[in-house]
């Protein structure tokens, strides 16, 4: 197997799509449409910095497919954001929404910036000006952003306010992942992690793994990773290693997560947590464990390291952590990979609930949100599992066969305009 560590996320996304399209025997015209994004907008915009200087930033909003509904997907602020990455993330959103049977297409956005190097005021001005630049294509009926890496409910509040100031009235449904005070949904903040843990529970039952006492490793201790760690430890599992962008920590006896959270809040990172030994972001993936949760960025599990991974379940809380070559290696080794477009779909699912609540001006109890999320995640997990069994494939191909077919069906019945 050739190793391709530097393969771009977009190359991976197209390769995954091609595998599914050929297995489905997809119509060549439909496949050609779905291989590329429908629209991509790149913007360069100025931001007044605190020292009085002006800096120009680059950002993107990509709409991959609108066949099943408005584009949906997050906005990422990261120094490595580029158009190829945003294209990949937008394609993955199309499949994710289709796996969950949400009435959305796929979209994604990002700004190339390390937000940790900006003041709060600079971050607000950057967010508001970026929102203004992409306002020509976003809207509650056309394209609905949400949080992603390094963005949060405050970012969404600024985006919602900016969009609303432009149109002259308050439009809560233009973004999801908002603060509760602005029409956000209860349960949205935890939703990605909660959905992932529902999937892990269902997967564990399939392989007779008792989560009580099971060992868990989490790469990426952000919104999804840290909450997934907490939720799975509440089920009796033992989290033995976690990492963030500064590095990782491990303790085979199990980490005290409340203390890790307090340490991260104080120092900005999990690194140097008392009673732990350091581990790198690469080495953390190779720690033997029952459940490995990649919850950071793309391209982490490749042909180079997949053979060294010793786990029973890989639960992809991140988008795109595993390359197609690594998928085959893990499948042969018997590890069950719960693919990103299923595993982390809890976030967009509760985003959908938030949008529905906003459009109806009617808000639900947290228990109701969580119960509806559980029902959708469990149903999607089993649909994917059964498809994979039928096709004798890994779950990723199962998820792609289901979702690509759903998007293709929508396009086919809509027909080509004019
Ligand atoms: N950024 C999240 C994702 O990758 C959530 C997207 C959304 O809620 O629209 O799925």
pLDDT tens digits, one per residue of 120-153: 999 999 999 999 999 999 999 999 999 999 999 9
Cα(222) to centroid(ligand 1), Å: 14
**Cα-based distances in Å from 401 to 27, 37, 51, 307, 318:** 14, 19, 52, 26, 20
pLDDT tens digits, one per residue of 189-243: 999 999 999 999 999 999 999 999 999 999 999 999 999 999 999 999 999 999 9
CA–CA separation, 66 and 98 (whole Å): 11
Contact 289, 240 (CB under 8 A): yes
Mean pLDDT of 44-57: 98
Q: Is the four-CA dihedral 337, 404, 78, 189 of positive or negative sign?
A: negative
Instruction: Quote the pTM value.
Output: 0.97
Helix (DSSP H) and strand (DSSP E) numbers for the chain? 13, 12
Q: Which of 81, 140, 192 to mutate to test the pocket of ligand 1 (most atoms within 8 A of CB)?
A: 192
**Cα-based distances in Å from 225 to 161, 200, 244:** 29, 13, 9
Cα(415) to centroid(ligand 1), Å: 28
Q: Is the four-CA dihedral 284, 288, 294, 297 of positive or negative sign?
A: positive
Contact 343, 199 (CB under 8 A): yes
Q: Phi/psi class of residue 172: alpha, beta or left (left: φ > 0; alpha: ψ in -120 to 50)?
A: alpha
The pLDDT value recorded for residue 7 is 85
CA–CA separation, 399 and 264 (whole Å): 35
Cα(152) to centroid(ligand 1), Å: 11
Q: Which domains does the chain have, with CATH numbers?
A: 36-185 (3.40.50.10860), 189-343 (3.40.50.720)
Which is more confident, 4 or 24? Answer: 24
Q: Which of 146, 149, 222, 340 to mutate to test the pocket of ligand 1 (most atoms within 8 A of CB)?
A: 146
For the purposes of burial, counting CB atoms within 10 Å of the CB of 375, is it exposed (0-12), middle (13-18) or buried (19 or more)? exposed
DSSP state at residue 304: T
pLDDT at 96 over 60: yes
Q: Is 176 touching ligand 1 by the criterion CB < 6 Å?
A: yes
Q: Where are the alpha helices (DSSP H) in 207-268?
A: 223-234, 257-267
């Amino acid at each position: 197997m050739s190793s391709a560590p530097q393969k771009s996320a977009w190359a991976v996304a197209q390769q995954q799509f091609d595998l599914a399209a050929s297995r489905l025997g997809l119509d060549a015209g439909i496949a050609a449409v779905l291989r590329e994004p429908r629209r991509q907008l790149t913007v360069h915009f100025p931001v007044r910095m605190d020292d009085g200087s002006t800096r120009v930033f680059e950002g993107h909003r990509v709409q991959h497919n609108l066949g099943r509904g408005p584009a949906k997907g997050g906005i990422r602020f990261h120094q490595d954001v580029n158009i190829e990455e945003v294209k990949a993330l937008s394609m993955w959103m199309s499949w994710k929404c289709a796996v969950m049977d949400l009435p959305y297409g796929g979209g994604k956005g990002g700004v190339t910036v390390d937000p940790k190097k900006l003041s709060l005021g600079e971050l607000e001005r950057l967010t508001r000006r970026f929102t203004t630049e992409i306002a020509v294509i976003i809207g509650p009926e056309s394209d609905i952003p949400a949080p992603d890496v390094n963005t949060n409910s405050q970012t969404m509040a600024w985006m919602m306010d900016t969009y609303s100031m432009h149109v002259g009235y308050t439009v809560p449904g233009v973004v999801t992942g908002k603060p509760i005070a602005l029409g956000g949904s209860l349960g949205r903040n935890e939703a990605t992690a909660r959905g992932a843990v529902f999937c892990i529970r269902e997967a564990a039952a399939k392989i007779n793994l008792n989560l009580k006492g099971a060992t868990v490793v989490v790469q990426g201790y952000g919104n999804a990773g840290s909450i997934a760690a907490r939720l799975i430890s509440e089920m009796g599992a033992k989290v033995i290693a976690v990492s963030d962008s500064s590095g990782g920590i491990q303790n085979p006896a199990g980490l005290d997560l409340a203390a890790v959270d307090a340490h991260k809040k104080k120092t900005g990172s999990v690194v140097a947590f008392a009673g732990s030994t350091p581990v790198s972001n690469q080495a953390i993936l190779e720690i033997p464990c029952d459940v490995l949760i990649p919850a950071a960025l793309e391209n982490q599990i490749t042909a180079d390291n997949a053979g060294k991974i010793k786990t029973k379940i890989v639960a992809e809380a991140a988008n795109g952590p595993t390359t197609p070559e690594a998928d085959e290696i893990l499948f042969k080794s018997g590890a069950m990979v719960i693919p990103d477009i299923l595993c982390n779909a809890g976030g967009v699912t509760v985003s959908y609930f938030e949008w529905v609540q906003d459009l109806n001006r009617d808000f639900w109890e947290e228990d109701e949100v969580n119960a509806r999320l559980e029902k959708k995640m469990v149903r999607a997990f089993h649909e994917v599992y059964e498809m994979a069994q039928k096709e004798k494939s890994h779950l990723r191909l199962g998820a792609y066969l289901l979702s690509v077919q759903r998007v293709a069906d929508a396009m086919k019945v809509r027909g080509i305009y004019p």
